Structure 1
């Protein structure tokens, strides 16, 4: 990049000066882009190709994966380029505004999709009889559409020029209006985050009550089987001459069949226990990745005199983007069908 570069929008401003090239950021950024892209492409392909994965919950996961995939393709390359330049923006402001628009929209969409998944799972657990697990119905279509439309609404002020402020520094690519920073942070994080936490807490409580009820039924079924078996063994053998009469020993296979059903229900209980263990991981990873960024992001807008190092802001921004790489792992590692598809892909590649 030439040292006498001037921004085409304001040629009177001096050329951006690059202090140093950040090679660790470049290497980590490339690895992150590859990881996010590969993981989310696999998620989309698995649902598209595997019939067993074509469920409503997985369609929400595909929407999340698509948002993270667009983030890796449209946002991360320019962000990594700027970080490689030492945080100095060397491209024109039109590209910067496009980057900010896509960044806000896709990050918000990713968060809204996570929230939509929590809403979907809460409905599935709370009112299972009215929940369609095989086909997307109108309620789920509305929920999916709302995640993208609301994300676009949050990002729309950048499209309409809210970033075009007087005396704008061409060496920085950021959101210039502090009121908009607060507005977007509240809409993108501080509102959906508590909603998601509360919904997952409700899911956890519902599954816990469901498991307790199943355990009670399991104990009753086992006890009934034992009593039936004891009663059958205590009865004398039937030697009657009634035509077509069946011996009482036929009750024993019935007992075995009931015991097999009890074992089957026990296996379902095991899967539910695993599902409950996943929920704290999902919420915990989300909060770990995004809370520092939005807290610092909002604090900088509210407290103009606060001296927050750029390196800290950059680190927390990286951490938020890492969540897009974790999402495929979090939402698929505990699913047997996803595991089978991933293993099949890796075997075919290797």
Structure 2
């Protein structure tokens, strides 16, 4: 429990400082909300949760009510921030050029996370929880609210609806990654001197096509199909894959396939992490509120498995952002001020 608590506080603090150092990107707003929620879990929830499992002591009603409310608030905000982050990633894939609009919507979503989480958590402070004690069981300092009505209300908006939204969003992301991105081209004669880039920009035509000419390096005109929206379609394009003369580098099309596979693996890993950490707890909680039949050891394992998600989130989600990863490396290896602007490469700036 101590290791999980310390890892949660240190990891999220490091990522929060890294986000402060780098310039803002649309995905940084929901990521900041996620890191802040997980940091509050490590500071305000996990220490008392560990103490009540290890020691016998009593606290007054106000402290226990504040602790249980903060538990629901921070965990709900963390899960809702994952939904906002999933939406931003889907928008980044489907509309990569609408950066300003994505940034505004990401700020709005990140700001809405906390009022919604407050509405879900606030009734916990005023709804009494039934207490059941088995023979020989010691009363813990603070109990989790197991009121049936509130439990089903909270788990619906804290987990099951957000989980459905996340699964849907990541399904859309996988579907968008499966289709090659359309690359716009100018109509008319085009002087093109990089066949590999030309090959990487070809997509299948989905609209009534027109004819256009492309001038190759050999000064030979080649007719290609051009859609009304300016998309290229090269049905007779030569094989432009990896060759011995490419100095060991694959073509742009092969690089696209590799990026697609990496993104797919990352998305599957993120969804698996979220579901594995939180599903047992949100199955156990309504079950115990209905029949009071969950063992104490099961409570502990399921509760702390959910807390582990707050420690793993900064490692997984922040590692997927090149700019945050670069800032983290600089924070660990440099003593520069946090207000110094990070020198970012063009590739990192686009991320």
TM-score normalised per structure 1: 0.71
1:228 aligned residue: 216
**Contact in 2 for aligned 1:116/1:143 (Cα 8 Å):** yes
| Runs (5+) with no aligned partner, structure 1 | 1-28, 233-258
What SS is found at the alignment partner of 1:132? helix
- Bigger RCO of structures 1 and 2 (CA < 8 A, at least 6 apart): 2
**2:84 & 2:280 partners in 1: Cα distance?**
22
- 1:22 — aligned with what? none
Residue 10 (structure 2) pairs with residue 38 (structure 1): yes
Looking at structure 2, the residues matched to 327 and 220 of structure 1 have their Cα atoms a distance apart, in angstroms, of: 35
1:21 maps to none
Alignment of 1:249-328 (within 5 A): 267=255, 270-304=258-292, 307-328=293-314
- Structure possessing the higher radius of gyration over alpha carbons: 1
Q: Name the structure 2 match of 1:152.
A: 118
> How far apart, in 2, do the equivalents of 1:75 and 1:298 lie?
21
Q: Could you tell me how far 1:220 is from its partner in structure 2? A: 6.7
**Within 2, Cα distance between the matches of 1:227 and 1:136?**
39
* 8 Å contact from structure 2 (residues 18, 331) kept in 1: no
Does the 8 A contact of 1:293 with 1:320 survive in 2? yes
Within a 5 Å distance, the mapping from 1:10-159 to structure 2 comes to: 29-51=1-23, 54-85=24-55, 88=56, 90-132=58-100, 136-137=103-104, 139-159=105-125
Given that residues 92 and 170 in structure 1 are in contact (C-alpha distance below 8 angstroms), is that contact kept between their aligned partners in structure 2? Answer: no
The change in CA–CA distance for 1:319 and 1:165 in structure 2 (over 3 A counts) is closer
Q: Partner residue of 1:8? A: none
Deviation at 1:140, TM superposition (A): 2.5
Which of 315, 326, 332 is 1:329 aligned to?
Answer: 315
Q: Please give the alpha-carbon distance, in whole angstroms, between the structure 2 residues aligned to 1:77 and 1:166.
A: 23
Runs (5+) with no aligned partner, structure 2: 185-195, 203-213, 221-245, 336-351
Partner residue in 1 for 2:153: 183
* Cα distance in structure 1, aligned partners of 2:266 and 2:113: 23
Maintained 8 Å contact 2:145/2:151: yes
Cα gap change, 1:129/1:186 in structure 2, threshold over 3 Å: closer, same or farther? same
Deviation at 1:136, TM superposition (A): 3.0
Aligned to 1:9: none
- Tell whether the 8 Å contact from 1:113 to 1:147 is kept in structure 2 after alignment: yes
Q: Distance in 1 between matches of 2:132 and 2:319?
A: 49
| 1:210 partner SS | coil
Deviation at 1:148, TM superposition (A): 0.6
Measure the CA separation in 2 of the matches of 1:217 and 1:186: 49
Question: Residues 216, 61 of structure 1: CA spacing in aligned structure 2 closer, same or farther, 3 A cutoff?
Answer: same
**SS of the residue aligned with 1:56?**
coil
8 Å CA contact 2:30, 2:110 repeated in 1: yes
Aligned residues: 282
Once residues 273 and 330 of structure 2 are traced to their aligned partners in structure 1, the CA distance between those partners, rounded to angstroms, is: 27
1:143 offset after TM fit, Å?
A: 1.1
Higher strand share: 2
Which structure dedicates a bigger proportion of its chain to helix?
1
**SS of residue matched to 2:275:** helix
Of 311, 333, 340, the residue aligned with 1:347 is 333
The Cα of 1:342 is off from its aligned counterpart by 2.3
**1: distance between equivalents of 2:96 and 2:182?**
17
User: What CA deviation, in whole Å up to 9, does each residue of 1:149-176 have, x standing for no partner?
Assistant: 11000011123x2126699996452204
CA RMSD of aligned residues (A): 3.3
- In 2: Cα distance, 1:178 partner to 1:199 partner: 30
